[in-house]
Chain A
Amino acid sequence: MTTEKTTEPLWWGLFSAGGVVAAFLVPIHIVLVGFALPLGWISDSGALYRIWWVKLYLFILIVLPLYHWGHRHYFALNHMGLKSMSKLLAVLCYGGAIIGTAVTAWILLKV
């Protein structure tokens, strides 16, 4: 449905998926990581992070919102007047998300 070749739907799709994950899942994890554990309401040994499907869940939880941030940031920077640096901004924003994906995968596999 496009006259020009564009990968825009890919980034928008990732942005959307990231938005859904962030909307439904992030708040409860903030409560757990930011308050429940440090303030001692709950205690945990970190053992659950070794379960394979927990790692898969975490990969999705952490990685997809990175693309949500990258896409938003790219458009925000462009619209704030940095349009002339568009290509560099794309590398920084989407590239940042891609690097984040690799780092996350590496850490989760190592745990």
Chain B
Amino acid sequence: MAEPTITLNVTRYRPGQDQVPTMQAYAVPYKEDWVVLDALNHIKDQMDGTLSYRWSCRMGVCGSCGMMVNGTPKLTCAAFLRDYYPGEIRVEPLVNFPIIRDLVIDMSDFLDKLKSVKPWIIRKEEKPVARGEYLQTPAELEAFHQFTQCINCMLCYAACPVYGLEPKFLGPAAIALGYRYNMDSRDQGKEQRAVIGNHDGIWDCTFVGECSVVCPKDVDPAAAIQRSKVDTTKNWFKSMLMPWGER
């Protein structure tokens, strides 16, 4: 009896060789406990060593293996073959990013945006080590904890229709990261993260909410963005109506 197989249709693109990306079909063994990443590794190890893709931890914590699976941004290490079998699975590189080769995309724009929100504790005056640790209550930790869970997998950027239309948009992960630091009781650097309040920061967002739907770590970047809008608006009205107030 032949082993059951499942067909993966995978994007192939070799720069310098191919004019446009094409799809290549591979019939891989179907196993109950395999994920799409297992299938890709099988293809590379046993069928076609020329296929290129990113992966690392295979357990949903490194953020490397994000791809489009049947049109939805997913971590391929978390997409089980059994959820698609016996249908075919289309595996494509994350949308909204330039393609380098096959399933590998150029993430430099994303990295620039992460940097632009200054994702580190900013103090008006650094506290010397001799003075001891910062103290934080459980409530203070809870205020920003979920926004620390981002694994930089970029699924939210692939899901965001605004980022697709406006490449300058700061984007869900970067804004959520900035919000994480603004909400951290140890941080005093909100004014230095002004990029969040610019036109291509939170104001490009129309609360479609797809970013939070696809996020594999329940960061809920959509919530971070909308709360940043409320914060920024409150401060704006305060500064307009009471310009003598403290900055």
Helix, strand, loop or mixed for chain B's interface? helix
A6 B203 Cβ-Cβ under 8 A: yes
Please classify how large the interface on chain B is, using the bins under 10, 10 to 19, 20 to 34, 35 or more.
20 to 34
14 cross-chain CB contacts under 8 A: A1-B231, A1-B235, A2-B197, A2-B198, A3-B194, A4-B199, A6-B198, A6-B199, A9-B232, A12-B229, A13-B237, A75-B206, A83-B165, A83-B166
Please report which residues of chain B, range 120-148, place their CB below 8 angstroms from some CB of chain A when the two chains form the complex: none
Give the residue name and chain of the B residue nearest to A80 (CB): B165
Chain A neighbourhood of B206, CB < 8 A: 75, 79
B196 A79 Cβ-Cβ under 8 A: no
B190 at the interface (CB under 8 A from A): yes
A85 at the interface (CB under 8 A from B): no
B200 to chain A, nearest CB (A): 10
Interface size of A by CB at 8 A reads: 14
A residues whose Cβ falls under 8 Å from a Cβ of B: 1-4, 6, 8-10, 12-13, 16, 75, 79, 83
A12 to chain B, nearest CB (A): 6
B45 to chain A, nearest CB (A): 43
Q: CA–CA, A79 to B204, complex, Å?
A: 10
A79 B232 Cβ-Cβ under 8 A: no
B191 at the interface (CB under 8 A from A): yes
Known: A1-B231, A13-B236. 13 other contacts (CB 8 A): A1-B191, A1-B193, A1-B194, A1-B196, A2-B232, A3-B197, A6-B197, A6-B199, A9-B237, A12-B229, A13-B237, A79-B165, A79-B206
